[in-house]
Structure 1
Amino acid sequence: MKQPRIQADYLLETPGDPFRTAEVMAGEQSSGTFVRVPGETTQLRERAAAEVVEVDVLEEFVGTRSLPSAEPSPLAERLVRARVTISWPLATLGPSLPNLMATVAGNLFELRQVSGLRLLDIRLPDEFASVYTGPKFGVDGTRELAGVHGRPIIGTIIKPSVGFTAEETASLVANLCEARIDFIKDDELQADGPNCPFNDRVLAVMREINASADRTGKKAMYAFNLTGDVEEMKRRHDFLVRNGATCLMVSVNSVGLAGFIELAKFSELPIHAHRNGWGYLSRHPQLGWSFNAWHKIWRLAGADHMHVNGLGNKFSEPDDSVIESARACMTPMFKEKPCKVMPVFSSGQTVHQAPGTFAGLGSPDLIMTAGGGILAHPDGAAAGVTALREAWEATIKGIPLTEYGSSHPALSAALERPSA
């Protein structure tokens, strides 16, 4: 019977032979080392070694290495870039996400033969889907809790990011609830500091959210940032549940994969996965991770929402990369377990980005969080919520924003302000 295997695709740059470099990568990340050792028999290699599935040479050029190396190099030399696919037998590590990361994204980045390496994609056997739950809420569960169907979930971030007390935060939340906002989140910098303690913030904010829900029947979803060690996150999670919260947020790179897996095991609320720090994993085009590969780890571990940046964002990511990331969130990972996760568009988002976002994603299944795009509206935060909702109404109906704005004052005022 054919044994299940893991596959990973890489963009490799090397001054050497790409086929030989790929073999070195496979050996380093499985049964081999720099020299043959006793016990590494042919039978063991057949059973446990990684295999080079494909090496597709993309380009050969004369230039300088993307990354420094222990081996001295001239200012310009012959370099090769290739797409490399390597596979591993599942039996050597089992369906374990932490050990998967060590296998597909471990020491191979440090090999001296490598002058550039980026993990592009991973494909996992069904055994991983049997061990990990994936999103408990995802798109459908989030929509049910937020009470929003057929359009994007409109949200904002508490701004200023830090500095408000718990009561000042609650005052802004009360204003946003009056505007019937769908979703609000802590900034990732707001955690449990003495100026705005977590428990105090939860009590003050949920007081306003619950009061608004009693009056209007609509309960805004608030993602409280509970990032911390596992015991802290457990205590904060339980406090959220006792006080009627419907979402939590965590900085995934801060808590690490093992911490996130534990959080997902006990969480009774949707997990809003914030990717702050993503730049150090991805910004160099020849190093690190593609979002497509990276997000699958956290998605399978239990993320319900994942940040994908936004069109026309204030950071460095181009629009086509943002859309590709959002589509990846909605692409099934396994035939019997789609594990779809809700993409979150953020970073400098305003009414101007609605048409391009909808055209690129081809679906209203998203959360759009606009901080300044809502809170800096010339007529106030409530008008900012209305304007963003109207922008999406127009977009889904196929009506140009300027045309729709002629009869919708909040949208018209927002359109007069520049995009990020």
Structure 2
Amino acid sequence: MNATDRLHVRYRVTGRDADEVAEAIRVEQTIEFPADLAAPWIQEEIVGRVEDRDTDSVVVSYAPGVLAGGLTQLLNVLWGNVSIFEGVRVVDVRLPDDDVLGLRGPRFGVAGMRELLAAPRRALLATALKPMGSSAAELAEVARTLAVAGLDIIKDDHSLGDQPWAPWRERVARCAEAVREANSRTGGRALYMPSLNVPAPEVQERAHEAKALGAGALLVLPGISGFDAMRALADDDELALPVMSHPSMLGSHIVSASQGIAHGLLLGLVNRLAGADLCVFPSHGGRFAFSPEQCAEIRDECAAPRGRLAPALPAPGGGMTVERLPELLDLYGRDVALLVGGALHRGDLATNAARMREAVESAA
């Protein structure tokens, strides 16, 4: 599939007639109207075009005008009504030329995050503040310990919202101050990243408030808040903070082999289109069932040349341990943000976090 001004999507078809599905997709994803009743120019210029097909997949392309409307319409065309079809999975995408989509993508990307964190070569280190139920003061002390030990990104756990035991504003203020004090003490550049797991009308306002309170980055749940909400944060020049995407509620799009969107396309490409600088996903061997091949697919799609989109950092987590860091570095290389959460609390937190930093420095 050659790059043009059209969007090309390959759909894998399971248990259905590929020709029948191709015809349904090209109409359903565009006019959603009996094609034979449409004006000839609509049939020729607007309805999707079948570009290729074989026994188990079809390629449909879509005209630039169909994509007009930004990221929301792009996602609608990619996986709108066809998401309701059984036995159809998006397995490959060729984007149109940059000028057609007009999406900026990651503000910082790999190079920008490395510059921000003064880490030109080694893998980056991330962790999550846990567990829910801890007070804001307790979470801040954990954040301080982790920053002193040399971790780069100290994020809220994605489930931390505005719970009564650690209200959002108090938690953000205390954790941001703790990380700032740790950086002042060590000369480090650790970033505190609050979760924007908040009601939709408040996302943008809370993001600016988080920056004012001292947060250095933002955690977004696009499966809940929306991919375009994340894009709006990434594109906000006044905000200008790194954005990490968390996969909460996205799993149902990817876990079926015969349905949904390929792992790399959703957690890599779509995240990049929506401006994510870092993309969280569960690594193999943890408490989720991703395979090494699926994780490699996400890794590769975070870095794949995609017009002017900057590469994003894969952030594998989900039950990782310090002991597994060498293995993870073998799979992901150094352009990665390794995410170890609850396992750091088994034993002495400061010692375990320091071991994590030592592991990546020795491999750099």
1:227 aligned onto 2:171: no
Q: 2:321 aligns with which of 327, 338, 350?
A: 350
The residue that corresponds to 1:390 in the other structure is 358
State the SS of the aligned residue for 1:36. helix
Gaps of 5+ in 2: none
Report the Cα offset of residue 211 of structure 1. 1.6
| Offset of residue 24 of structure 1 | 2.3
Query: Counterpart of 2:212?
Result: 242
Whole-angstrom distance in 1 between the partners of 2:136 and 2:24: 55
Shift of 1:196: 0.8
Does the 8 A contact of 2:173 with 2:214 survive in 1?
no
Structure 1 position 18 matched with structure 2 position 45: no
Aligned runs of 1:247-396 on 2, under 5 Å? 247-266=217-236, 267-294=239-266, 295-334=268-307, 337-361=308-332, 363-376=333-346, 378=347, 380-396=348-364
User: Structure 1: where are the runs of 5+ without partners?
Assistant: 58-81, 397-420
How big is each residue's C-alpha offset from its partner over 1:249-280, in whole Å with a ceiling of 9 and x where there is no partner?
01111111332232223232101111112221
Q: Is the 8 A contact 1:146 1:183 kept in 2?
A: no
- Alignment-derived partner of residue 89 in structure 1: 63
CA contact (8 A) 1:230 1:263 kept: no
Residue 47 of structure 2 is aligned to residue 53 of structure 1: no
Deviation at 1:3, TM superposition (A): 7.4
Cα distance per residue 1:11-59 (max 9 Å; x no partner):
11234x322321222122234635732xx243332222211111122xx
What is the match of residue 199 of structure 1? 169
In 2, Cα distance between equivalents of 1:10 and 1:130: 21
Using the TM superposition, give the Cα deviation of residue 303 of structure 1 relative to its aligned residue in structure 2, in angstroms: 1.0
| Alpha-carbon distance in structure 2 between the residues aligned to 1:36 and 1:155 | 54
Q: Note the aligned Cα RMSD (angstroms).
A: 2.2
CA 1:46 to 1:353, structure 2 compared with 1: closer, same or farther past 3 Å?
same
Q: CA deviation at 1:383?
A: 1.1
String of CA shifts for 1:110-167, please: whole Å, max 9, x gaps.
Answer: 34xxx4011112222124576221111111222222222211112221121x011110
Q: Return the letter of the residue paired with 1:277.
A: M
| TM-aligned CA deviation for residue 223 of structure 1 | 1.2
1:118 aligned to which of 89, 101, 109: 89
Measured at CA, do residues 89 and 213 of structure 1 come closer, stay the same or move farther in structure 2, by a change above 3 Å? same
C-alpha contact (below 8 Å) 1:148/1:182 kept by paired residues? no
CA separation of 1:129 and 1:173: change in aligned 2, threshold 3 A: farther
For 1:100 and 1:215, the matched residues in 2 are separated by 46
Contact 2:30-2:48 within 8 A present in 1 as well: yes
TM, length-normalised to structure 2: 0.91
Mean CA deviation greater in 121-130 or 196-205: 121-130
Match for 1:56: what amino acid?
D
Instruction: Report the Cα distance in structure 1 between the residues aligned to 2:184 and 2:35, rounded to whole angstroms.
Output: 70
Output the CA distance in 1 between the equivalents of 2:359 and 2:49.
Answer: 51
The superposition leaves residues 285-312 of structure 1 with CA deviations (integer Å, 9 ceiling, x where unpaired) of: 1111112322323312211111132231
1:185 aligns with 2:183: no
Distance in 2 (CA, whole Å) between partners of 1:296 and 1:235 is: 27
- Give the aligned length: 359
CA offsets, 1:150-189, max 9 Å, x none?
A: 11112221121x0111101111122222322222111111
- Partners of 1:181 and 1:109 lie apart in 2 by 39
With a CA cutoff of 8 Å and minimum separation of 6, indicate the structure with the bigger relative contact order: 2
| Residue identity (%) | 27
Deviation track 1:348-395 (CA, whole Å, cap 9, x = no partner) reads 11133323322223x31111111133221x3x0111112222333444
Matched, 1:8 2:6: no
Give, in whole Å, the separation in 2 of the partners of 1:285 and 1:130.
Answer: 29
Aligned to 1:107: 81
Residue type matched to 1:166 in 2?
Answer: A
CA contact (8 A) 1:27 1:33 kept: yes
The equivalent residue for 1:43 is 41
> Using a 3 Å threshold, how does the CA distance of structure 1 residues 42 and 260 change in structure 2: closer, same or farther?
same
Mapped contact 1:156–1:371 kept (Cα < 8 A): yes
Is the radius of gyration larger for structure 1 or structure 2? 1
Contact 1:145 1:246 in 2 (8 A): no
